[in-house]
Structure 1
Amino acid sequence: MTDERPWHAHVTVATVIERDGKFLVVEEIADGERVINQPAGHLEPEESLVEAARREVLEETGYDCSIDGIIGTTLYKAANGVTYYRTSFFGTALGKINSELDDGIIQPLWLSRKELQARESDLRSHLVLATIDQYLKGHRYPLELIYG
């Protein structure tokens, strides 16, 4: 008899924060490579999606933020075969309050859409620009869409 785990999608969050036409992103090491991503990460036990999004922004960028709404959800199968269920939020940076960042994070950056496009080969996945594009197209929904 084999001990197989049931399949499940990994629940993640990501947050788009815009200020003066620039977006808060992180430069990080992922799978041994230097990449750019939104502040993003996994949902932890006993945590709401909004709490996870706010925590990830703080841990990865040092910025406190408000989570103002939802951009959308994505089911994404990574090259490693793992499936992620990602809820993307938008928020507002309230101020930098922490200089200690998560392991693997090099630095937070404020980059324009054009600057991110120019560095497309450095993006962790196509979701970085796709999520920003959804935000720029007006895909902004109230947090009340989430129950619980």
Structure 2
Amino acid sequence: MKHKKIPTTLTNMVMIYDQDGNVLVEDRLNPTWPGITFPGGHVEADEPLVDAAVREVWEETGLKVSQLELCGIKDWLEADGSRYLVLLYKTQTFSGQVKSSREGNIFWTKLADLKQLKLASGMETMLEVFLSPKYSEHYLDTTNGRHDNLLK
């Protein structure tokens, strides 16, 4: 069987949490995807996946993170057949001073209060992957309408 090459965009998102039940969030300024989310961004062509996540967190928050745990993915199938993959990491190992960036306002909030905030589109479903060991993938198919699925 011949395999077809599929154009794919690789990105990441990192849930940074502390021992007091807080998570670091970003209130995004981008009008195409506004709202509360975790920091993250695109993987450059020449960098390892974890290094990209560490770099993106540093650029957006001023924190150095380590000991990232891959907890799942968001697999987004676009109408043109391309894929958009978001590698979902979490960590409680960080150092530095929190600062906001041009991407958005960065602040700590209680994890228990997160769903009360204005979340970015799809963030509530992604939280299930971050928080529940029974899910490993948030699959979003936009080729014929919008089909959201959580997969084990």
Bigger helix share? 1
Deviations 1:69-115 (A, max 9, x none): 11012212479x974111111112422247472x2x23212122332
Query: Structure 2: which 5+ residue stretches go unaligned?
Result: 137-152
Aligned residues: 131
Cα distance in 1, alignment partners of residues 88 and 56 from structure 2: 12
Q: Distance in 2 between matches of 1:117 and 1:60?
A: 22
Q: Which runs of 4 or more aligned residues in structure 1 lie more than 4 Å from their structure 2 counterparts after TM superposition? A: none
Q: 1:78 to 1:95 in 2, by over 3 A?
A: farther
Offset at 1:124? 1.9
Please list every run of 5 or more consecutive structure 1 residues that lacks an aligned counterpart in the other structure.
Answer: 1-5, 142-148
Q: Residues 47 and 117 of structure 1: is their aligned pair in 2 closer, same or farther, counting only changes over 3 Å?
A: same
Contact 1:53 / 1:67 at 8 angstroms: preserved in 2?
A: no
CA contact (8 A) 1:39 1:60 kept: yes
Aligned equivalents of 2:48, 2:86: Cα separation in 1 = 13
Percentage identity across aligned positions? 25
Please give the residue correspondences for 1:94-109 in structure 2 after superposition, counting only pairs within 5 Å. 94-97=94-97, 99=99, 101=101, 103=102, 105-109=103-107
Alpha-carbon distance change, 99 to 136 in structure 1, aligned in 2, over 3 angstroms: closer
Mark the CA change 1:100 to 1:108 in structure 2 (over 3 Å): closer, same or farther.
closer
- Note the aligned Cα RMSD (angstroms): 3.0
* Stretch of structure 1 that moved more, 17-26 or 110-119: 110-119
Residue 23 of structure 1 is matched in structure 2 by 23
Q: TM-score, normalised by structure 2?
A: 0.70
Aligned to 1:138: 133
27-36 vs 38-47, which deviates more?
27-36
Give the residue type in structure 2 aligned to 1:123.
L
The more displaced of 39-48 and 129-138 is 129-138
